[in-house]
Structure 1
Amino acid sequence: MLIGEVSRRSGVSTRMLRHYDALGLLEPTGRTSSSYREYSADDIRRLFHVESLRTLGLSLHDTKRALDEPGFAPAELVGELIRRTRARIATEEELLRKLECVDTAAPAQWEAVMGIVTLLRALESESGASRQQAVLAQHEGASLPVEALVEAVLSEDDPNVAGALRWSLARAAGAGLTELAVGLDSAVVEVRRRAVVAIAEVPVAAAAVLLRRALHDCDVTVRDRAALALGSRRVAEAIPALLAMVVAGRFDVEAAEALGLLAEGAAAAADIVGMMRDELERTDDIPSRLRITQALAELPGVAAREVLTELADDADRTIAATAAAILRR
Protein backbone atom coordinates (compact mmCIF):
# COMPACT_ATOMS: atom_id res chain seq x y z
CA MET A 1 0.00 0.00 0.00
CA LEU A 2 1.46 3.33 -1.02
CA ILE A 3 1.82 6.28 1.34
CA GLY A 4 -1.11 8.24 -0.08
CA GLU A 5 -3.55 5.42 0.44
CA VAL A 6 -2.20 4.75 3.95
CA SER A 7 -2.77 8.42 4.73
CA ARG A 8 -6.34 8.33 3.44
CA ARG A 9 -7.23 5.18 5.36
CA SER A 10 -5.51 6.05 8.64
CA GLY A 11 -6.08 9.78 8.79
CA VAL A 12 -2.36 10.35 9.39
CA SER A 13 -0.91 12.95 7.03
CA THR A 14 1.75 11.96 4.52
CA ARG A 15 4.03 14.51 6.12
CA MET A 16 3.69 12.79 9.52
CA LEU A 17 4.23 9.36 7.94
CA ARG A 18 7.49 10.59 6.43
CA HIS A 19 8.46 12.00 9.84
CA TYR A 20 7.75 8.62 11.45
CA ASP A 21 9.97 7.02 8.80
CA ALA A 22 12.82 9.48 9.46
CA LEU A 23 12.68 8.73 13.18
CA GLY A 24 12.65 4.98 12.63
CA LEU A 25 9.28 4.80 14.31
CA LEU A 26 7.47 3.42 11.26
CA GLU A 27 9.68 2.38 8.37
CA PRO A 28 7.82 0.95 5.37
CA THR A 29 8.81 -2.63 4.62
CA GLY A 30 9.37 -2.11 0.90
CA ARG A 31 9.88 0.31 -1.94
CA THR A 32 8.42 0.26 -5.41
CA SER A 33 10.57 0.30 -8.52
CA SER A 34 10.09 4.06 -8.47
CA SER A 35 11.32 4.22 -4.85
CA TYR A 36 7.88 5.04 -3.43
CA ARG A 37 7.27 3.87 0.13
CA GLU A 38 5.22 0.69 0.23
CA TYR A 39 3.56 -0.35 3.49
CA SER A 40 2.77 -3.95 4.39
CA ALA A 41 -0.09 -5.21 6.57
CA ASP A 42 2.36 -5.40 9.51
CA ASP A 43 3.38 -1.80 8.87
CA ILE A 44 -0.27 -0.72 8.98
CA ARG A 45 -0.74 -2.64 12.22
CA ARG A 46 2.28 -0.87 13.73
CA LEU A 47 0.92 2.49 12.59
CA PHE A 48 -2.28 1.91 14.52
CA HIS A 49 -0.23 0.89 17.57
CA VAL A 50 1.72 4.14 17.25
CA GLU A 51 -1.44 6.23 17.04
CA SER A 52 -3.02 4.37 19.97
CA LEU A 53 -0.03 5.06 22.20
CA ARG A 54 0.09 8.67 21.06
CA THR A 55 -3.50 9.15 22.27
CA LEU A 56 -2.23 8.37 25.77
CA GLY A 57 0.13 11.33 25.57
CA LEU A 58 3.35 9.43 24.88
CA SER A 59 6.09 11.31 23.07
CA LEU A 60 7.39 9.89 19.80
CA HIS A 61 10.56 8.80 21.60
CA ASP A 62 8.65 6.93 24.30
CA THR A 63 6.31 5.43 21.70
CA LYS A 64 9.29 3.97 19.83
CA ARG A 65 10.72 2.58 23.07
CA ALA A 66 7.41 0.99 24.00
CA LEU A 67 7.18 -0.77 20.61
CA ASP A 68 10.83 -1.72 20.13
CA GLU A 69 12.29 -2.51 23.56
CA PRO A 70 11.23 -5.99 24.74
CA GLY A 71 11.94 -5.19 28.39
CA PHE A 72 10.17 -1.84 28.37
CA ALA A 73 8.02 -1.57 31.55
CA PRO A 74 5.03 0.75 31.16
CA ALA A 75 4.21 1.31 34.85
CA GLU A 76 6.64 4.16 35.53
CA LEU A 77 5.88 5.93 32.27
CA VAL A 78 2.13 5.59 32.74
CA GLY A 79 2.50 7.02 36.24
CA GLU A 80 4.38 10.01 34.85
CA LEU A 81 1.70 10.49 32.19
CA ILE A 82 -0.95 10.51 34.90
CA ARG A 83 0.95 13.20 36.83
CA ARG A 84 1.39 15.32 33.69
CA THR A 85 -2.26 14.94 32.77
CA ARG A 86 -3.42 15.96 36.23
CA ALA A 87 -1.16 19.01 36.11
CA ARG A 88 -2.52 19.93 32.69
CA ILE A 89 -6.11 19.50 33.89
CA ALA A 90 -5.39 21.68 36.93
CA THR A 91 -3.98 24.35 34.64
CA GLU A 92 -7.01 24.17 32.37
CA GLU A 93 -9.38 24.31 35.35
CA GLU A 94 -7.56 27.37 36.65
CA LEU A 95 -7.91 29.01 33.25
CA LEU A 96 -11.60 28.10 33.18
CA ARG A 97 -12.05 29.62 36.65
CA LYS A 98 -10.45 32.86 35.51
CA LEU A 99 -12.60 32.99 32.38
CA GLU A 100 -15.73 32.42 34.45
CA CYS A 101 -14.67 35.21 36.81
CA VAL A 102 -14.28 37.56 33.87
CA ASP A 103 -17.61 36.45 32.43
CA THR A 104 -19.43 36.91 35.75
CA ALA A 105 -18.02 40.41 36.16
CA ALA A 106 -19.53 41.26 32.76
CA PRO A 107 -16.95 43.86 31.68
CA ALA A 108 -18.13 46.14 28.90
CA GLN A 109 -14.70 47.00 27.50
CA TRP A 110 -11.44 45.14 26.95
CA GLU A 111 -9.77 47.58 29.32
CA ALA A 112 -12.03 46.26 32.07
CA VAL A 113 -11.13 42.69 31.11
CA MET A 114 -7.44 43.52 31.46
CA GLY A 115 -8.12 45.07 34.87
CA ILE A 116 -9.83 41.90 36.07
CA VAL A 117 -7.06 39.65 34.74
CA THR A 118 -4.44 41.85 36.39
CA LEU A 119 -6.29 41.61 39.71
CA LEU A 120 -6.65 37.83 39.44
CA ARG A 121 -2.94 37.44 38.77
CA ALA A 122 -2.05 39.76 41.65
CA LEU A 123 -4.21 37.72 44.05
CA GLU A 124 -1.92 34.76 43.30
CA SER A 125 1.18 36.72 44.34
CA GLU A 126 3.15 35.53 47.36
CA SER A 127 3.59 39.16 48.41
CA GLY A 128 0.88 40.39 50.75
CA ALA A 129 1.69 43.99 49.84
CA SER A 130 1.17 43.22 46.15
CA ARG A 131 -2.16 41.52 46.83
CA GLN A 132 -3.34 44.41 48.99
CA GLN A 133 -2.26 47.06 46.48
CA ALA A 134 -4.01 45.27 43.62
CA VAL A 135 -7.30 45.12 45.53
CA LEU A 136 -7.15 48.76 46.67
CA ALA A 137 -6.28 49.91 43.15
CA GLN A 138 -9.73 48.93 41.86
CA HIS A 139 -11.48 52.19 41.10
CA GLU A 140 -15.08 52.98 42.03
CA GLY A 141 -17.47 51.36 39.57
CA ALA A 142 -14.92 48.88 38.23
CA SER A 143 -16.14 45.44 37.20
CA LEU A 144 -15.19 43.13 40.06
CA PRO A 145 -14.57 39.36 39.93
CA VAL A 146 -16.69 38.88 43.05
CA GLU A 147 -16.37 35.09 43.24
CA ALA A 148 -12.58 35.35 43.12
CA LEU A 149 -12.62 38.05 45.82
CA VAL A 150 -14.77 35.85 48.06
CA GLU A 151 -12.48 32.87 47.50
CA ALA A 152 -9.53 35.06 48.39
CA VAL A 153 -11.08 36.57 51.53
CA LEU A 154 -12.02 33.12 52.84
CA SER A 155 -8.43 31.92 52.56
CA GLU A 156 -6.43 35.10 53.29
CA ASP A 157 -4.17 35.00 56.35
CA ASP A 158 -2.70 38.49 56.04
CA PRO A 159 -5.00 40.87 58.02
CA ASN A 160 -4.16 43.86 55.83
CA VAL A 161 -4.99 42.01 52.62
CA ALA A 162 -8.12 40.54 54.21
CA GLY A 163 -9.24 44.05 55.18
CA ALA A 164 -8.75 45.28 51.62
CA LEU A 165 -10.71 42.32 50.25
CA ARG A 166 -13.59 42.94 52.66
CA TRP A 167 -13.61 46.61 51.71
CA SER A 168 -13.84 45.67 48.06
CA LEU A 169 -16.69 43.22 48.70
CA ALA A 170 -18.53 45.79 50.81
CA ARG A 171 -18.60 48.07 47.74
CA ALA A 172 -20.20 45.34 45.63
CA ALA A 173 -23.74 46.12 46.85
CA GLY A 174 -24.40 42.66 48.25
CA ALA A 175 -22.82 40.68 45.43
CA GLY A 176 -20.88 37.78 46.87
CA LEU A 177 -23.21 37.09 49.80
CA THR A 178 -24.24 33.76 48.27
CA GLU A 179 -20.62 32.65 48.11
CA LEU A 180 -19.91 33.98 51.61
CA ALA A 181 -22.89 31.97 52.87
CA VAL A 182 -21.12 28.85 51.62
CA GLY A 183 -18.16 29.90 53.74
CA LEU A 184 -20.42 29.98 56.81
CA ASP A 185 -21.15 26.28 56.22
CA SER A 186 -17.49 25.29 55.97
CA ALA A 187 -16.18 22.55 58.24
CA VAL A 188 -13.07 24.70 58.75
CA VAL A 189 -13.60 27.11 61.62
CA GLU A 190 -11.13 29.70 60.27
CA VAL A 191 -13.11 29.90 57.04
CA ARG A 192 -16.34 30.49 58.97
CA ARG A 193 -14.66 33.21 61.02
CA ARG A 194 -13.44 34.99 57.90
CA ALA A 195 -16.85 34.63 56.31
CA VAL A 196 -18.76 36.19 59.22
CA VAL A 197 -16.37 39.15 59.42
CA ALA A 198 -16.74 39.76 55.68
CA ILE A 199 -20.54 39.48 55.85
CA ALA A 200 -20.62 41.92 58.77
CA GLU A 201 -19.10 44.61 56.57
CA VAL A 202 -21.62 44.24 53.73
CA PRO A 203 -24.10 47.10 54.22
CA VAL A 204 -27.26 45.47 52.86
CA ALA A 205 -30.26 43.99 54.66
CA ALA A 206 -29.64 40.50 53.25
CA ALA A 207 -26.41 40.28 55.23
CA ALA A 208 -28.39 40.32 58.50
CA VAL A 209 -30.10 37.07 57.51
CA LEU A 210 -26.73 35.32 57.30
CA LEU A 211 -25.56 36.93 60.54
CA ARG A 212 -28.62 35.56 62.34
CA ARG A 213 -27.61 32.11 61.11
CA ALA A 214 -24.11 32.64 62.46
CA LEU A 215 -25.52 33.34 65.95
CA HIS A 216 -26.02 29.57 66.26
CA ASP A 217 -22.56 28.54 65.12
CA CYS A 218 -20.69 26.07 67.34
CA ASP A 219 -17.67 28.40 67.42
CA VAL A 220 -17.86 31.19 69.98
CA THR A 221 -15.80 33.60 67.86
CA VAL A 222 -18.22 33.26 64.95
CA ARG A 223 -21.17 33.83 67.29
CA ASP A 224 -19.54 36.87 68.91
CA ARG A 225 -18.72 38.49 65.56
CA ALA A 226 -22.26 37.93 64.35
CA ALA A 227 -23.74 39.33 67.56
CA LEU A 228 -21.66 42.52 67.40
CA ALA A 229 -22.59 43.07 63.76
CA LEU A 230 -26.28 42.51 64.45
CA GLY A 231 -26.15 44.76 67.49
CA SER A 232 -24.72 47.57 65.39
CA ARG A 233 -27.70 47.06 63.04
CA ARG A 234 -30.10 47.17 66.02
CA VAL A 235 -31.28 43.58 65.57
CA ALA A 236 -32.80 42.49 68.90
CA GLU A 237 -32.01 38.79 68.36
CA ALA A 238 -28.42 39.59 69.27
CA ILE A 239 -29.22 40.75 72.82
CA PRO A 240 -28.73 37.40 74.64
CA ALA A 241 -25.43 36.77 72.86
CA LEU A 242 -24.21 40.30 73.58
CA LEU A 243 -25.07 39.98 77.26
CA ALA A 244 -23.26 36.62 77.37
CA MET A 245 -20.19 38.36 75.94
CA VAL A 246 -20.32 40.99 78.67
CA VAL A 247 -20.62 38.34 81.38
CA ALA A 248 -17.78 36.24 79.95
CA GLY A 249 -15.53 39.22 79.20
CA ARG A 250 -15.28 38.61 75.44
CA PHE A 251 -15.28 41.95 73.60
CA ASP A 252 -17.32 43.16 76.57
CA VAL A 253 -16.79 46.87 75.86
CA GLU A 254 -17.95 46.50 72.26
CA ALA A 255 -20.86 44.29 73.37
CA ALA A 256 -21.94 46.87 75.95
CA GLU A 257 -21.89 49.60 73.30
CA ALA A 258 -24.03 47.45 71.03
CA LEU A 259 -26.49 46.88 73.87
CA GLY A 260 -26.62 50.64 74.32
CA LEU A 261 -27.70 51.03 70.70
CA LEU A 262 -30.36 48.38 71.11
CA ALA A 263 -31.64 50.05 74.30
CA GLU A 264 -32.52 53.32 72.59
CA GLY A 265 -36.17 52.24 72.59
CA ALA A 266 -37.84 52.29 76.02
CA ALA A 267 -39.27 48.76 75.71
CA ALA A 268 -35.97 47.30 74.58
CA ALA A 269 -34.12 49.13 77.35
CA ALA A 270 -36.44 47.65 79.98
CA ASP A 271 -35.93 44.15 78.59
CA ILE A 272 -32.14 44.48 78.51
CA VAL A 273 -31.97 45.92 82.02
CA GLY A 274 -34.22 43.10 83.24
CA MET A 275 -31.89 40.51 81.73
CA MET A 276 -28.90 42.22 83.33
CA ARG A 277 -30.63 42.29 86.72
CA ASP A 278 -31.36 38.55 86.42
CA GLU A 279 -27.72 37.88 85.56
CA LEU A 280 -26.52 39.93 88.54
CA GLU A 281 -28.72 37.87 90.85
CA ARG A 282 -27.64 34.63 89.23
CA THR A 283 -23.88 35.00 89.49
CA ASP A 284 -21.49 35.54 92.37
CA ASP A 285 -18.51 36.06 90.07
CA ILE A 286 -17.18 39.51 90.91
CA PRO A 287 -15.48 40.26 87.55
CA SER A 288 -18.69 39.31 85.70
CA ARG A 289 -20.85 41.47 87.98
CA LEU A 290 -18.41 44.36 87.53
CA ARG A 291 -18.61 44.11 83.75
CA ILE A 292 -22.41 44.12 83.91
CA THR A 293 -22.25 47.21 86.14
CA GLN A 294 -20.01 48.95 83.63
CA ALA A 295 -22.30 47.91 80.77
CA LEU A 296 -25.25 49.53 82.52
CA ALA A 297 -23.51 52.86 81.94
CA GLU A 298 -24.30 52.48 78.22
CA LEU A 299 -28.04 52.08 78.79
CA PRO A 300 -30.39 55.06 78.88
CA GLY A 301 -33.48 55.39 81.06
CA VAL A 302 -34.74 55.09 84.61
CA ALA A 303 -34.53 51.29 84.82
CA ALA A 304 -30.76 51.28 84.36
CA ARG A 305 -30.34 54.02 86.98
CA GLU A 306 -32.43 52.04 89.45
CA VAL A 307 -30.16 49.00 89.13
CA LEU A 308 -27.06 51.19 89.40
CA THR A 309 -28.49 52.79 92.55
CA GLU A 310 -28.87 49.34 94.07
CA LEU A 311 -25.35 48.41 93.01
CA ALA A 312 -23.96 51.53 94.68
CA ASP A 313 -24.66 49.71 97.96
CA ASP A 314 -23.19 46.40 96.77
CA ALA A 315 -21.14 44.36 99.21
CA ASP A 316 -18.21 44.46 96.82
CA ARG A 317 -16.50 47.83 97.21
CA THR A 318 -15.25 47.96 93.58
CA ILE A 319 -18.72 47.33 92.17
CA ALA A 320 -20.27 49.83 94.57
CA ALA A 321 -17.69 52.51 93.69
CA THR A 322 -18.10 51.88 89.97
CA ALA A 323 -21.91 52.17 90.17
CA ALA A 324 -21.65 55.36 92.21
CA ALA A 325 -19.20 56.88 89.74
CA ILE A 326 -21.53 56.07 86.84
CA LEU A 327 -24.46 57.67 88.64
CA ARG A 328 -22.46 60.82 89.35
CA ARG A 329 -21.39 61.02 85.73
Structure 2
Amino acid sequence: MAMPKQDTDTIQALQGLEDSSSSVRLRAALAAGTTPDPRFIDKLIERSAIEPEFYVRDMLTWALTRHSASMTVPELLKEVRSERAQARSQALHTLSKIGDRQAWPAITRALLSDADDEVARSAWRAAVVLVPAGEEPGLAEVLSTQLGRGGREMQLSLSRALIALGEVIVPTLRAAMTDLDPRVRAHAIATERLLRDPDAAFGFAIEEAKRVVALGGTGKEE
Protein backbone atom coordinates (compact mmCIF):
# COMPACT_ATOMS: atom_id res chain seq x y z
CA MET A 1 0.00 0.00 0.00
CA ALA A 2 1.46 3.38 -1.05
CA MET A 3 2.15 5.97 1.62
CA PRO A 4 -0.10 9.08 1.37
CA LYS A 5 1.63 11.93 -0.48
CA GLN A 6 1.31 14.23 2.54
CA ASP A 7 3.21 11.73 4.71
CA THR A 8 5.87 11.35 2.02
CA ASP A 9 6.30 15.12 1.81
CA THR A 10 6.54 15.35 5.60
CA ILE A 11 9.24 12.68 5.75
CA GLN A 12 11.18 14.37 2.95
CA ALA A 13 11.02 17.73 4.72
CA LEU A 14 12.16 16.24 8.02
CA GLN A 15 15.08 14.52 6.30
CA GLY A 16 15.87 17.67 4.32
CA LEU A 17 16.35 19.68 7.52
CA GLU A 18 19.40 17.52 8.26
CA ASP A 19 20.89 17.59 4.75
CA SER A 20 24.51 18.68 4.37
CA SER A 21 23.46 21.23 1.73
CA SER A 22 22.22 24.54 3.11
CA SER A 23 19.99 25.07 0.05
CA VAL A 24 18.28 21.73 0.71
CA ARG A 25 17.78 22.67 4.36
CA LEU A 26 16.35 26.02 3.26
CA ARG A 27 13.83 24.36 0.96
CA ALA A 28 12.89 21.88 3.67
CA ALA A 29 12.24 24.70 6.15
CA LEU A 30 10.18 26.52 3.51
CA ALA A 31 8.15 23.35 2.92
CA ALA A 32 7.61 22.91 6.66
CA GLY A 33 6.18 26.42 6.91
CA THR A 34 4.19 26.27 3.71
CA THR A 35 2.34 23.16 4.85
CA PRO A 36 2.40 23.25 8.68
CA ASP A 37 2.31 19.91 10.46
CA PRO A 38 2.73 19.39 14.24
CA ARG A 39 5.28 16.69 13.44
CA PHE A 40 7.65 19.40 12.21
CA ILE A 41 7.80 21.42 15.42
CA ASP A 42 10.36 19.43 17.41
CA LYS A 43 12.68 19.08 14.42
CA LEU A 44 12.43 22.77 13.50
CA ILE A 45 13.35 23.77 17.06
CA GLU A 46 16.10 21.17 17.28
CA ARG A 47 17.60 22.37 13.99
CA SER A 48 17.39 26.03 15.04
CA ALA A 49 19.76 25.30 17.90
CA ILE A 50 22.55 24.07 15.63
CA GLU A 51 21.90 25.55 12.15
CA PRO A 52 25.04 27.47 11.06
CA GLU A 53 23.50 29.51 8.22
CA PHE A 54 21.66 32.71 9.13
CA TYR A 55 19.21 32.61 6.22
CA VAL A 56 18.27 29.00 7.03
CA ARG A 57 17.74 29.91 10.70
CA ASP A 58 15.50 32.75 9.57
CA MET A 59 13.41 30.32 7.51
CA LEU A 60 13.23 27.91 10.46
CA THR A 61 11.83 30.75 12.58
CA TRP A 62 9.31 31.62 9.86
CA ALA A 63 8.25 27.96 9.64
CA LEU A 64 7.67 27.84 13.39
CA THR A 65 5.53 31.00 13.29
CA ARG A 66 3.29 29.21 10.79
CA HIS A 67 2.40 26.57 13.37
CA SER A 68 -0.04 26.93 16.24
CA ALA A 69 1.39 29.05 19.06
CA SER A 70 -0.27 26.74 21.59
CA MET A 71 2.06 24.00 20.35
CA THR A 72 5.24 25.95 19.59
CA VAL A 73 5.46 28.34 22.55
CA PRO A 74 5.71 25.66 25.31
CA GLU A 75 8.54 23.96 23.41
CA LEU A 76 10.36 27.23 22.76
CA LEU A 77 10.11 28.12 26.45
CA LYS A 78 12.05 24.96 27.22
CA GLU A 79 14.75 26.08 24.79
CA VAL A 80 15.34 29.44 26.47
CA ARG A 81 16.73 27.44 29.41
CA SER A 82 19.12 25.46 27.21
CA GLU A 83 22.84 25.40 27.95
CA ARG A 84 23.48 26.00 24.24
CA ALA A 85 23.65 29.74 23.52
CA GLN A 86 22.29 29.44 19.98
CA ALA A 87 19.31 27.46 21.24
CA ARG A 88 18.48 30.24 23.70
CA SER A 89 19.02 32.98 21.13
CA GLN A 90 16.92 31.37 18.39
CA ALA A 91 14.11 30.45 20.77
CA LEU A 92 13.94 34.04 22.01
CA HIS A 93 14.04 35.36 18.46
CA THR A 94 11.19 33.06 17.44
CA LEU A 95 9.13 33.98 20.51
CA SER A 96 9.50 37.65 19.56
CA LYS A 97 8.16 36.86 16.08
CA ILE A 98 5.24 34.84 17.45
CA GLY A 99 4.40 37.63 19.89
CA ASP A 100 2.45 35.49 22.39
CA ARG A 101 2.61 37.38 25.68
CA GLN A 102 2.22 34.19 27.68
CA ALA A 103 5.97 33.87 27.06
CA TRP A 104 6.73 37.06 29.01
CA PRO A 105 7.56 35.36 32.37
CA ALA A 106 10.37 33.45 30.63
CA ILE A 107 12.19 36.70 29.76
CA THR A 108 14.25 36.77 32.94
CA ARG A 109 16.86 39.23 34.15
CA ALA A 110 19.41 36.47 33.59
CA LEU A 111 18.52 36.29 29.89
CA LEU A 112 18.46 40.08 29.52
CA SER A 113 22.03 40.15 30.87
CA ASP A 114 23.18 36.86 29.32
CA ALA A 115 26.95 36.62 28.86
CA ASP A 116 26.43 35.68 25.20
CA ASP A 117 25.82 38.82 23.15
CA GLU A 118 23.40 37.21 20.67
CA VAL A 119 21.30 35.75 23.48
CA ALA A 120 21.14 39.11 25.22
CA ARG A 121 20.21 40.94 22.00
CA SER A 122 17.48 38.41 21.25
CA ALA A 123 16.20 38.73 24.81
CA TRP A 124 16.06 42.53 24.52
CA ARG A 125 14.07 42.35 21.30
CA ALA A 126 11.71 39.71 22.71
CA ALA A 127 11.21 41.66 25.92
CA VAL A 128 10.02 44.86 24.24
CA VAL A 129 7.57 42.87 22.12
CA LEU A 130 6.18 40.79 24.97
CA VAL A 131 6.21 43.21 27.93
CA PRO A 132 2.70 43.64 29.41
CA ALA A 133 1.22 47.13 29.61
CA GLY A 134 2.39 48.88 32.76
CA GLU A 135 5.59 46.90 33.16
CA GLU A 136 7.65 48.97 30.72
CA PRO A 137 9.37 51.10 33.42
CA GLY A 138 10.60 47.99 35.23
CA LEU A 139 11.89 46.53 31.98
CA ALA A 140 13.64 49.82 31.18
CA GLU A 141 15.44 49.64 34.53
CA VAL A 142 16.69 46.11 33.85
CA LEU A 143 17.76 47.00 30.30
CA SER A 144 19.61 50.06 31.58
CA THR A 145 21.97 47.76 33.49
CA GLN A 146 23.37 46.80 30.07
CA LEU A 147 24.17 50.35 28.96
CA GLY A 148 27.77 50.66 27.79
CA ARG A 149 28.01 46.97 26.93
CA GLY A 150 29.90 45.78 23.86
CA GLY A 151 30.68 47.52 20.59
CA ARG A 152 28.64 49.91 18.50
CA GLU A 153 26.26 47.30 17.03
CA MET A 154 25.55 45.85 20.46
CA GLN A 155 24.91 49.28 21.91
CA LEU A 156 22.66 50.24 19.00
CA SER A 157 20.59 47.08 19.59
CA LEU A 158 20.07 48.07 23.22
CA SER A 159 19.22 51.66 22.30
CA ARG A 160 16.62 50.46 19.81
CA ALA A 161 15.09 48.17 22.42
CA LEU A 162 14.91 50.97 24.97
CA ILE A 163 13.50 53.46 22.47
CA ALA A 164 10.77 50.96 21.54
CA LEU A 165 9.48 51.38 25.11
CA GLY A 166 8.89 55.09 24.54
CA GLU A 167 9.04 58.00 26.98
CA VAL A 168 9.01 55.74 30.05
CA ILE A 169 12.77 55.25 29.54
CA VAL A 170 13.65 58.92 30.17
CA PRO A 171 13.95 58.76 34.00
CA THR A 172 16.10 55.64 33.70
CA LEU A 173 18.35 57.25 31.09
CA ARG A 174 18.69 60.41 33.16
CA ALA A 175 19.81 58.33 36.13
CA ALA A 176 22.35 56.51 33.95
CA MET A 177 23.79 59.85 32.82
CA THR A 178 25.33 60.21 36.29
CA ASP A 179 26.86 56.71 36.32
CA LEU A 180 30.52 56.46 37.29
CA ASP A 181 31.30 54.57 34.07
CA PRO A 182 31.83 57.01 31.15
CA ARG A 183 30.73 54.34 28.65
CA VAL A 184 27.39 54.04 30.45
CA ARG A 185 26.97 57.82 30.56
CA ALA A 186 27.77 58.20 26.85
CA HIS A 187 25.43 55.38 25.85
CA ALA A 188 22.59 56.85 27.92
CA ILE A 189 23.09 60.31 26.38
CA ALA A 190 23.20 58.90 22.85
CA THR A 191 20.06 56.83 23.47
CA GLU A 192 18.09 59.83 24.68
CA ARG A 193 19.20 61.81 21.63
CA LEU A 194 18.00 59.01 19.37
CA LEU A 195 14.69 58.98 21.24
CA ARG A 196 14.30 62.70 20.48
CA ASP A 197 15.58 62.42 16.91
CA PRO A 198 15.00 58.91 15.46
CA ASP A 199 16.67 59.92 12.19
CA ALA A 200 19.97 60.76 13.86
CA ALA A 201 22.92 58.49 13.13
CA PHE A 202 23.82 56.38 16.15
CA GLY A 203 27.56 56.61 15.51
CA PHE A 204 27.35 60.40 15.47
CA ALA A 205 25.19 60.41 18.62
CA ILE A 206 27.70 58.22 20.45
CA GLU A 207 30.70 60.33 19.42
CA GLU A 208 28.89 63.51 20.42
CA ALA A 209 27.90 61.92 23.73
CA LYS A 210 31.52 60.92 24.38
CA ARG A 211 32.60 64.52 23.90
CA VAL A 212 29.94 65.67 26.36
CA VAL A 213 31.15 63.12 28.92
CA ALA A 214 34.79 64.07 28.35
CA LEU A 215 33.87 67.69 29.11
CA GLY A 216 32.23 66.58 32.34
CA GLY A 217 28.63 67.01 31.19
CA THR A 218 25.66 64.66 31.47
CA GLY A 219 23.76 65.61 28.36
CA LYS A 220 20.76 66.71 30.44
CA GLU A 221 19.10 69.88 29.35
CA GLU A 222 19.50 72.53 32.00
State the TM-score, normalizing by the size of structure 1.
0.51
| Alignment partners' CA distance in 2, 1:169 and 1:256 | 28
Identity percentage of aligned residues: 20
Distance apart, 1:239 and its partner CA? 1.4
Contact 2:185 / 2:213 at 8 angstroms: preserved in 1?
no
Q: Size of the alignment, in residue pairs?
A: 197
Cα deviation, residue 253, structure 1:
1.7
Pairing 1:136–2:30 present: yes
1:150 aligns with 2:48: no
Counterpart amino acid of residue 255 in structure 1: L
Q: Gaps (5+ residues) in structure 1?
A: 1-108, 301-310
**2:48/2:60 contact within 8 Å kept:** yes
- Kindly tell me: are residues 186 and 258 of structure 1, through their superposed partners in 2, closer, same or farther at Cα, counting changes over 3 Å? closer
Q: Distance in 1 between matches of 2:113 and 2:216?
A: 35
Shift of 1:150: 1.2
1:202-281 paired onto structure 2 within 5 Å? 202-212=98-108, 215=111, 218-221=114-117, 222-235=119-132, 236=136, 237-249=138-150, 251-264=154-167, 268=168, 272-281=169-178
Maintained 8 Å contact 1:289/1:319: no
Structure 2 Cα separation of the partners of residues 215 and 156 of structure 1: 21
Counterparts in 2 of 1:121 and 1:209: CA distance versus 1, 3 Å = same
| Matched residue type, 2:72 | G
Residue 316 of structure 1 corresponds to 214
2:187 counterpart SS class: helix
In 1, the alpha carbon distance for the partners of 2:142 and 2:120 equals 8
The 2-side partners of 1:319 and 1:115 are apart by: 64
Indicate the residue corresponding to 2:199 in structure 1: none
Q: Distance in 2 between matches of 1:173 and 1:217?
A: 30
Measure, in 1, the Cα distance between the counterparts of 2:217 and 2:68.
Answer: 46
Q: Which has the higher contact order (CA 8 A, sep 6+)?
A: 2
Alignment partners' CA distance in 1, 2:114 and 2:129: 22
Counterpart secondary structure, 1:248: coil
Give the Cα separation in 2 of the matches to 1:171 and 1:194.
Answer: 16
Distance 1:289 1:217 in 2: 18
- The residue identity in structure 2 corresponding to 1:282 is D
Whole-Å separation in 1 of the counterparts to 2:45 and 2:60:
8
Correspondence 1:127 to 2:25:
no
Q: Distance in 2 between matches of 1:278 and 1:120?
A: 51
Following TM superposition, by how much is the alpha carbon of 1:170 offset from its aligned partner in structure 2, in angstroms? 1.6
Identify the range of structure 1 (272-281 vs 119-128) with the bigger mean alpha-carbon deviation: 272-281
Contact 1:224–1:245 (Cα < 8 Å) also in 2: no
In structure 1, how many angstroms separate the alpha carbons of the residues matched to 2:147 and 2:79?
27
Q: Contact 1:196–1:226 at 8 Å: present in 2 too? A: yes
After superposition, the C-alpha distances for 1:46-93 in whole angstroms (9 at most, x for unaligned) are xxxxxxxxxxxxxxxxxxxxxxxxxxxxxxxxxxxxxxxxxxxxxxxx
Measure how far apart 1:213 and its partner are.
6.9
Shifted more, 184-193 versus 148-157: the winner is 184-193
User: Rg bigger for which structure?
Assistant: 1
Shift of the 246–216 alpha-carbon distance from structure 1 to 2, 3 Å rule, reads closer
Give the CA deviation at 1:205. 1.9
Q: Which amino acid aligns with 1:123?
A: L
Query: Residues 130 and 209 from structure 1, CA distance in 2 versus in 1: closer, same or farther, beyond 3 angstroms?
Result: same
Offset of 1:139 from its aligned partner?
A: 5.8
Partner secondary structure for residue 142 of structure 1: coil
- Residues in 1 aligned to 2:173 and 2:74: alpha-carbon distance in whole angstroms: 36
Secondary structure in structure 2 of the residue aligned to 1:292: helix
Q: 2:12 aligns with which of 91, 113, 118?
A: 118
